[in-house]
Amino acid sequence: MNRTSHTSHTDEELLKLSAEGQKTAFEEIYNRYSGRIYNYFLRMNRNDSAKAQDLTQDLFLKIIQNQADFDLTRSFKTWIFSMANNMCKNIYRHQEVVKKADKELAYTQNNSVKMEPVHDKFKFKEALNQALNDLEPIKKSSFIMRYKQDMSIREIAEITKTSEGTVKSRLFYTLRQLSVSLKSFEKI
């Protein structure tokens, strides 16, 4: 079988080739983005691996279905993460019961006895994940895109359809909120 290498093509060129029927072009897009998209969904969905896998598969199916509609003047990376972000927003809209439970859990945690300073990396990571899960979805999403996916402020603004100033402000307040939540991990 003669397989064409598409590693030198841009993402946008690959999507165009895929829309024209070149399956190997789509495979290259999948290879470039599936891991990052999976990790994004994993972090946005409380480390639920099965849900992250399902969402990743659903997203790539949406790409196949909508690839002909992609505006080649836009960034593919921004487009794919916008779609992922919108999928997460839709999930959050349907999770009112989960939100109420999270609020009750946060209330219980905030009113419990304060922990002594702990410097264990595993416990810190656990506490950080819990603190991220307690954030509003848009704050959590912005934080993950910036600090886990290494996206620029501009890319996050495009994905969330807000101004760069709003993204900066949101990140500032998110970091402040996380520092309060993780105060027990400060060095003595």
Q: What is the pLDDT of residues 169-180, one digit of tens each?
A: 999 888 888 888
Contact 80, 59 (CB under 8 A): yes
Q: How many domains does the chain have?
A: 2
Q: How far apart are CA 185 and CA 121, in angstroms?
A: 10
Last residue of a domain, one of 94, 126, 151: 94
- Secondary structure (3-state) at 5: coil
Q: Where are the alpha helices (DSSP H) in the chain?
A: 11-19, 23-44, 49-66, 76-93, 96-110, 121-134, 137-143, 153-160, 164-181
Residue 102, both tokens = 């999270």
- List CB contacts of 62: < 8 A, sequence separation 6 or more: 83
pLDDT on residue 117? 47
pLDDT tier for residue 188 given thresholds of 50, 70 and 90: very low
If asked whether residues 148 and 186 sit together in one domain, one would say yes
Residues 57 and 138 in one domain: no
Domain hosting 181: range is 96-188
**Given this model, what pLDDT does residue 99 score?**
57
Domain end position, chosen among 41, 72, 94: 94
CA of 105: how far to CAs of 20, 48, 160, 174, in Å? 50, 19, 28, 19
Q: What is the pLDDT of residues 34-81, one digit of tens each?
A: 999 999 999 998 889 999 999 999 999 999 988 888 888 999 999 999
Asked which of 3-12, 95-104, 151-160 is least confident by mean pLDDT, the reply is 95-104
- Are 130 and 188 contained in the same domain? yes
Q: What is the pTM of this model?
A: 0.62
User: Do 104 and 172 share a domain, yes or no?
Assistant: yes
- Shared domain for 106 and 129, answered yes or no, is yes
- Cα distance between residue 130 and residue 77, in whole Å: 28
Q: Reply yes or no on whether the pLDDT at 110 is more than 50.
A: yes
Instruction: Indicate if 102 and 187 belong to the same structural domain.
Output: yes
Q: Percent of the chain scored above 70 by pLDDT?
A: 82
The answer to whether 121 touches 132, Cβ cutoff 8 Å, is: no
Same domain, 89 and 109: no
Cα gap 107→60, rounded to integer Å? 38
Residue 108 neighbours by CB under 8 Å, 6+ apart: none
The residue to which tokens 């992609």 are assigned? 70
Q: Are residues 119 and 159 in the same domain?
A: yes
Residues 88, 60 share a domain: yes
The rounded radius of gyration (Å) of the Cα atoms in the chain is 19
The arithmetic mean of pLDDT across residues 118-142, rounded, is 83
Rounded Cα distance, 169 and 175, in Å:
10
Residue 109's pLDDT band (cuts 50, 70, 90): low
Looking at residue 5, which CATH number applies to its domain? 1.10.1740.10
